[in-house]
Amino acid sequence: MSRKQAVFCIQAANAIVGEGPRWDPATGVLYWVDIKRPALFRWDPGHGQTGHWPMSRPIGCASAAPGGRVLFADSDGFGTLELGTGDVSRIADPENDLPGNRFNDGKVDRAGRFWAGTMDDLCVHPTGSLYRLDVDFSIRRMDTGFVCSNGLGWSPDNRTMYFTDSMARTIWAYEFDLTNGELGERRHFARLADHDGVPDGLTVDSEGFIWSAVWDGWRLIRYAPDGGIDREVPIPVQRPTSCTFGGPDLKTLYITSACEGLSRSALERGPLAGALFALETDVPGLPEATFNGSGALG
């Protein structure tokens, strides 16, 4: 992969907390969310922004689903959004007893199950958990004890699941069974020093390397499968939040960012905070999976 990589702004979105970019290969568009606005957006490489859906609750993540719908997770649990009408249908909230929690990042595995983690919205208490929404719409808690659940993804061979524990500044690597959707032993994959930013959203490329956005770090880190740093890519904003591969050849890395809580000096240094960015790469990503519970959606 070329070391001379330039990140460019594709939409000066001014997102408060842009997050959760997901490429939909069926329609060739990118979905992403602004957690705190809150809203879901659709971006088309040929036409720019082509969709905007205001949401009633802070939305952590969303993924295209069959039948013109989007599956999402927010502060009231799991739900679906009908893109044509904007109608929302609720599935369930596994944490209705934890009003200070909300869902954060989430993603669909290659068997069609939706994984999403929760967090303490004040980023203080370890009340967050990782959940699996199965294709029959049952929900199972898979791990717990996190202050801020964040970016996740799977290795190309589906034997490892990566999961970000932001306030611990750690990316975990779990043994993963794709057939049964079970997690095995977990190990430290990568950890940032206290002064070096906070790991946020991530994605995995076709070589099995992990791209992690570093909140308060002005950069992305590309980790080798053994956890070593392959390279760091500067981003012109202090708080990049997540990334995903898209485009017809999956060689465009889309990057979200946030402007929430930034000082005047940080905004002067990075005036594009909250923008949507892109980076052309030599190595493609992996296709995004689609939730496989279409029979019950809506």
How confident is residue 6, by pLDDT bands cut at 50, 70 and 90? confident
Question: Which residues are CB-contacts of 212 (< 8 A; sequence separation ≥ 6)?
Answer: 151, 164, 171, 190, 199, 200, 201, 202, 220, 221, 222, 223
> What pLDDT does 294 receive?
55
pLDDT in tens, 172-213: 999 999 999 999 999 999 999 999 999 999 999 999 999 999
Position 2 confidence tier, pLDDT thresholds 50, 70, 90: very low
Q: Is the pLDDT of residue 103 over 70?
A: yes
Q: What is the pLDDT of residue 95?
A: 98
* Comparison of pLDDT for 5 and 293, the residue scoring more: 293
Buried-state track 218-247, b at ≥16 Cβ within 10 A, e below 16:
bbbbbbebeeeeeeebebbbbbbbbbbbbb
Question: What pLDDT does residue 160 have?
Answer: 98
pLDDT tens string 59-92 = 999 999 999 999 999 999 999 999 999 999 999 9
Query: For residues 97 and 196, what is the distance between their CA atoms, to the nearest angstrom?
Result: 35
Report the distance separating Cα 11 and Cα 163, nearest Å. Answer: 28
Mean pLDDT of 206-221: 98
What integer best gives the mean pLDDT of the chain? 95
- Annotated catalytic residues are 200
User: Which pLDDT score is estimated for 1?
Assistant: 45
How would residue 44 be classed by pLDDT, with cut points 50, 70 and 90? very high
The answer to whether residue 296 scores a pLDDT higher than 70 is no
pLDDT of residue 293 exceeding 90, the answer is no
Task: Give the per-residue pLDDT at 297.
Answer: 52
**DSSP assignment, residue 125?**
S
What span, in angstroms and rounded, lies between the C-alpha atoms of 17 and 1? Answer: 30
- Do you know the residue count of the chain? 298
Q: What are phi and psi of 295, to 5 degrees?
A: -65, -25
- Locate 118 and state its tokens: 């929760």
**pLDDT at residue 292 in the model:** 86
Asked if pLDDT for residue 261 goes beyond 90, the answer is yes
Backbone CA torsion sign across 167, 266, 220, 8: positive
Write out the H or E segment, with its range, that includes residue 264.
helix 264-269
Q: How far is the C-alpha of 42 from the C-alpha of 38, rounded, in Å?
A: 14
Residue carrying structure tokens 């002067």: 268
Q: Cβ distance 133 to 114 under 8 Å?
A: yes
Burial class (CB in 10 A: 0-12, 13-18, 19+), 193: exposed
Look up residue 261 and give its two tokens. Answer: 């809580």
- Bridge partners for 212 per DSSP: 202, 221
pLDDT score, position 195: 93
